[in-house]
Amino acid sequence: MYVAVKGGEAAILATHDLIAEERRGDRSVPEVTTAQLSEQMKLATARVMNEGSLYDPSLAALALKQAQGDSIEAAFLVRAYRTTLPRFGSTRPLDTSEMAIRRRISATYKDLPGGQVLGPTYDYTHRLFDFALMAEGETAPAAPIASDPLEPHMPRVPDILGDEGLMEAEVPPDGDPAPFDLTRDPIQFPADRDTRLQTLSRGDEGFLLGLAYSVQRGFGGNHPFAGEIRMGEVPVRFKSEELGFEIELGDITLTECQMVNQFQGSKDKPPQFTRGYGLVFGHAERKSMSMAILDRSLKNREFGESVDYPAQDEEFVLYHSDNVEAAGFVEHLKLPHYVDFQGELELIRKIRKEFDERQSEQKAEKAGEAA
Amino acid sequence: MSAHAIDADYNFGYLDEQTKRMIRRALLKAVAIPGYQVPFGSREMPLARGWGTGGIQITAALIGPEDKLKVIDQGADDTTNAVSIRRFFARVAGVETTEKTNEATLIQTRHRVPEYPLSKGQILVYQVPQPEPLRKIESSEVETRKMHAWSEYGAMHVRLYEDIARYGRVATSYSYPVMVNDRYVMSPTPIPKFDNPKMDNMPALQLFGAGREKRIYAVPPFTKVKSLDFDDYPFEVQKWDEPCALCGARDSYLDEVITDDRGGRMFVCSDSSYCEDRREAGHVGIQIDWAKDQAYLDPNADEAK
Amino acid sequence: MSVAPLIQGFSDPILGSQAIFRSILDAMAHPGTIGAIDDSICGTPKDIPLAAAACLLTLIDYDTPVWLAPEFMSMRSWLAFHTGAPDAASIDQTRFALVSAQSSSPAVTDFPKGDDRYPDLSATIIVVCTSLQGGRPIRLKGPGIESEKIISPQGLHEAFWTDVRANNSQFPLGSDIILVAGHELIALPRSITCEEIG
């Protein structure tokens, strides 16, 4: 009896050991802790929380540690975990007007109620290495505390424009139905705004950024104004049907971006500004801005605009923004395909043979004609 | 193979019961509308999208302690993806697994239909990367939905005919489109067209899961499945000039194995279980000695001959 | 609170619903074949056939509005307790229905049949018969049936098969039907044709 050699299972188990070893690296170097990651790699954990669709900085840190810092692999770990979590219900809608602001800027007004709050940002740094960090000789200066507290009232810029009637109103759909849930239902087209916003919010930051850039640069013809970007903590509340009252579950860090776009009007509608909205977990300004630009470009159906550019095509944008799906499908090309490839080989050999036969026939005919 | 200890950290079959119900409802509608793609709330799985999550979710919604599960990829039980998925179900459902096609109640497959005819009561679950047979012609889901709704399949025939005009034949060797029950054009997943005729009137139930694309579809037993073709260019399957080098089979789909870098090659059955059975039954292929020399076969098994 | 919720649902919710689902799937894949459900698998309210209770427990939940014919309203609280399924606000909203074979109204054609792009958005109707055997013979043909299948369920109203034919003639639109009696069931997906013999 002959038995074909089989080593699949043992080889697969060995890859698990090898990747664990690779992840740990040189054992003489201390192991990184998840607390270090969640405290000192906040922008990375924010990205994992967004693309993993789960607000949990410590799990995001664990995911990053386990994935050797690969943010897509980390988001995948978070998603696979979140899908197993029991669901107790939905929170009350968040109110970002009650955000405990840490940063709030507007590019549309020099000054406004509450003022410009620059907060923590790399925006005004010079991108020069701080070699002290490499020497681990960091002496982090504590940021000075302002003499006066921030103004408690920080109106959102679109609301200011809205009071004047110059901003497109945000009106819930008829009957204010429960929003679509991207994590439980398949997207159907045409997609409503709740579907679009959820998809953008979990979408790949790089993909969103590239598309948003295309809108600004030459494939969309839009240069929006950053009406407001705010970042800070917002309370999350839950109303239990059994208890009958609302409880506060805690605060989460959010970044919200409101883009103000060129005005729009029609025969019956007065000209007004239109809005693009971005809301993401953690401190993630680039992502929130990209999202806001794409939210606006995908509103073409509502405004009767034609679809001329990639960023306006909702199937293109929404189907391809999920990096866990995209990575899975691109990387599945690593799986064996030799059955299909054999089919292609058989076919191309056959077609090639016929082609060669035709060529030599034609050659013979030509030679005959010439003779 | 024997049954496995079940992992108590996860629900039986991994998915929660609400998700299983959602998938089960989709499966029943899929069976009632043969070849039609039912959208479903595909869940995130601990395996990558594109690596069989659709098939895995269907299997998870079906599987019970009475089942015997076979998992194949490219026809073989020991390819990496097949091993990984079989380990997953052994862990989360504790079921018995098998490599024998006729012993299995559930067969999850990627890219092949087993060579042995399947029988009534068996269920074949296909992993589907792209459920939409019209996607190469029309990128938009809104448009392809309409084409299916109104049976507007002219563009598909035009595409196949363009191949004939150019190459003298339909230049599609896998994912060759089929018409199911004279109503829906369906993608048979990337099985080679060699396997298409097996889908027609098959006694087993065929279920198709596309996790990333969030679609489920089905072909009930004894249902007409016809590969699209033309009267003057009838559908035909792949043929090989030589038999399987290991078992001598002339009726199976063959994989090409490159044996050196000077053009040497041999052909062996892609269905590893079929090939093994034949060799156990005493069938011998032409290159068996070569294969033994190259350690392609287990040298220790030689004594048992 | 009525006594109904005190009646047990599944004895084992996970494996019980798995076993019943396989019976339903097998029935749907083999139209006309009688499937049987193990008596000990779940409880059922008085006067409700086990097969009807088992199908509903297995398939419905918060996401599936259910329409119960008046004669089966006695099971409503039991069903709500075990599944959380809401009542269908109208026949148009129904995903699952439980009706009596003797009643001609509503007809199977009154329930949602899906739309041409999404024919799956249609109802599944469970029809309670007196028995699945011994009635007038009906010949079934279509997907899932090797050549033909003869069934003879009892207690169906006069126009039932005319309604089913009207339903199935809209294929791919239409409702799907599960006939039940006692612990047995027969599925009639919209894809098949049916013809009264003699």
pLDDT (0 to 100) of residue A243: 77
- Mean pLDDT along residues C117-133: 97
List Cβ neighbours of C28 (8 Å cut-off, separation of 6 or more): B28, B31, B32, B220, C144, C176, C178, C187, C189
Q: What's the pLDDT band for A327 if we cut at 50, 70, 90?
A: very high
B110 interfacial to chain A (CB closer than 8 Å): yes
A85 interfacial to chain B (CB closer than 8 Å): no
The partner residue sitting opposite C29, judged by closest CB among B24, B65, B220, is B220
For residue B23, which amino acid is it?
A: I
Determine contact, residues B159/B203, Cβ cutoff 8 Å. Answer: no
B224 min Cα distance to partner chain A (Å): 24
The token pair at C35 is: 């499937």
- Residue A196 pLDDT > 90, yes or no? yes
φ, ψ of residue A100 in degrees (nearest 5): -80, 100
Rounded to whole angstroms, the Cα distance separating A145 from C77 reads: 61
Whole-model pTM: value is: 0.91
pLDDT (0 to 100) of residue B225: 98
Q: What's the pLDDT band for B301 if we cut at 50, 70, 90?
A: very low
Report, as residue numbers or ranges, the catalytic residues of B.
Answer: 35, 244, 247, 269, 275
- Residue A1 pLDDT > 50, yes or no? no
Q: Which residues 148-187 in chain A show a CB within 8 A of chain B? A: 183-187
* C15:B64 CB<8 A: yes
Taking all residues of chain A, what is their mean pLDDT, rounded to a whole number?
91
Rounded to whole angstroms, the Cα distance separating A365 from A358 reads: 10
List Cβ neighbours of B93 (8 Å cut-off, separation of 6 or more): B6, B12, B13, B14, B60, B63, B65
Rounded to whole angstroms, the Cα distance separating A330 from A320 reads: 12
Alpha helices (H) along A218-322? 285-297, 300-303, 314-320
List Cβ neighbours of A259 (8 Å cut-off, separation of 6 or more): A224, A225, A226, A227, A275, A276, A277, A278, A289, A292, A293, A295, A296
Name chain B contacts of C85, Cβ cutoff 8 Å: none
B80 interfacial to chain A (CB closer than 8 Å): yes
Name chain C contacts of B33, Cβ cutoff 8 Å: 119-120, 171-172, 189-191
Determine contact, residues B1/B97, Cβ cutoff 8 Å. Answer: yes
* A346:B10 CB<8 A: no
Q: Which of B97, B54, B27, B92 is nearest to B189 (CA)?
A: B54
Q: Which of A346, A220, A49 is nearest to B236 (CA)?
A: A346
pLDDT (tens digit per residue) in A205-240: 999 999 999 999 999 877 899 999 999 999 999 987
The token pair at B69 is: 């599960």
φ, ψ of residue B97 in degrees (nearest 5): -115, 160
Q: Which of A212, A176, A150, A199 is nearest to A325 (CA)?
A: A199
pLDDT (0 to 100) of residue C181: 97
Among all chains, which residue has been given the structure tokens 């080098």?
Answer: B245
Name chain A contacts of B46, Cβ cutoff 8 Å: 80
Q: Which residues 103-162 in chain C show a CB within 8 A of chain B? A: 116-120, 122, 124, 142-146
Residue in chain A closest to B240 (alpha carbons) equals A346
pLDDT (0 to 100) of residue C140: 98
pLDDT (tens digit per residue) in B42-86: 999 998 888 899 999 999 999 999 999 999 999 999 888 899 999
pLDDT (tens digit per residue) in C56-66: 999 999 999 99
B173 min Cα distance to partner chain C (Å): 27
- Mean pLDDT along residues B219-248: 94
* B169:A350 CB<8 A: yes
- Mean pLDDT along residues B125-132: 96
φ, ψ of residue B182 in degrees (nearest 5): 55, 20
For residue B224, which amino acid is it?
A: K
The subunits that touch chain B, with at least 3 C-beta pairs less than 8 Å apart, are A, C
- Residue B121 pLDDT > 90, yes or no? yes
Name chain C contacts of B223, Cβ cutoff 8 Å: 143-144
pLDDT (tens digit per residue) in A88-98: 788 999 999 99
- Cis peptide preceding C189, ω within 30 of 0: no
Q: Using the Cα atoms of residue C67, residue C68, residue C74 and residue C80 in order, give the sign of their dihedral.
A: negative
First to last CA, chain B: 23
Taking all residues of chain C, what is their mean pLDDT, rounded to a whole number?
94
Number of helices followed by number of strands (H, E) in chain A: 14, 4
Q: Which residues pair with C119 in a beta bridge?
A: none
A338 interfacial to chain B (CB closer than 8 Å): yes
- Mean pLDDT along residues B21-28: 98
B168 interfacial to chain A (CB closer than 8 Å): yes
Instruction: Tell me the CA distances in angstroms from A72 to A20, A21, A68, A84, A195, one per residue in order.
Output: 18, 20, 11, 19, 22
Q: What's the pLDDT band for C195 if we cut at 50, 70, 90?
A: very high
pLDDT (0 to 100) of residue A197: 98
pLDDT (0 to 100) of residue B303: 39
